[in-house]
Amino acid sequence: MNAATARGIDHIGLTVLDIEAAERFLIDGLGAEFIYETLNPGLPPFEGPEVAKMVGSPPGIVIDVIRMYKMGTGPGIELFHYKVDGQRPAPRLCDLGWQHVALYVDDMEAALERAVAAGAEKMNDPWDLIRAESGPGNRFCFIRTPFGPVIELISFPSPQPYEEGTELRRWKPPVA
């Protein structure tokens, strides 16, 4: 690996309407842990033409809260709160662009139950992974968070058929 090679995913950013509700869901529904706050309403917000250009947003946007959360042994989740006119809802899975975040869980039923109890919408019952990802207990399901974006819960405790054809492996958290 050279210095120009990405070494992994550090965090995933999510923009939300109600940062307090989103934080409660991340902590109560998914077991996230609050790490730090970069920006809050008591500090000067990020705003102005340079900020709008940097984030590819319309003129007049204001970023007033940014918080970072630890998600087990994977990438963090960074929540953003923007003040902007004409803010659009979260995209559907069929829309262009990044469409969901997948979180590895050890107990699909318990994780799904916890997320739904914290306000998530269960989009489907857990399905078996198929083809290159299949194996006993290898399953996934989608939930829609109370603040809009879709999260996939995934678990693949069994070896997967793709492993027979390559030494490369997809990321999986270490056994706790």
120 and 114 Cβ atoms separated by less than 8 Å: no
Confidence bin at 174 (pLDDT 50/70/90): confident
Residue 5 predicted with pLDDT over 80: no
Residue 2 predicted with pLDDT over 80: no
Residue type, 41: P
Residue 11 predicted with pLDDT over 80: yes
pLDDT of residue 117: 97
In whole angstroms, give the CA distance from residue 51 to residue 48. Answer: 5
pLDDT of residue 169: 93
For residue 159, CA distances in Å to 10, 62, 103, 156 come to 26, 47, 18, 7
Q: Average pLDDT, whole number, for the chain?
A: 93
Lowest mean pLDDT among 1-5, 81-85, 122-126, 144-148: 1-5
Considering the chain, what percentage of its residues have pLDDT values greater than 90?
80
Residue 126 predicted with pLDDT over 80: yes
Residue 10 predicted with pLDDT over 70: yes
Give pLDDT tens digits for 83-120: 998 888 888 889 888 889 999 999 999 999 999 999 99
Task: Say whether pTM exceeds 0.85.
Answer: yes
pLDDT of residue 1: 64
Give the containing element (helix H, strand E) for 20. Answer: helix 19-24
In whole angstroms, give the CA distance from residue 86 to residue 153. Answer: 31
pLDDT of residue 175: 81
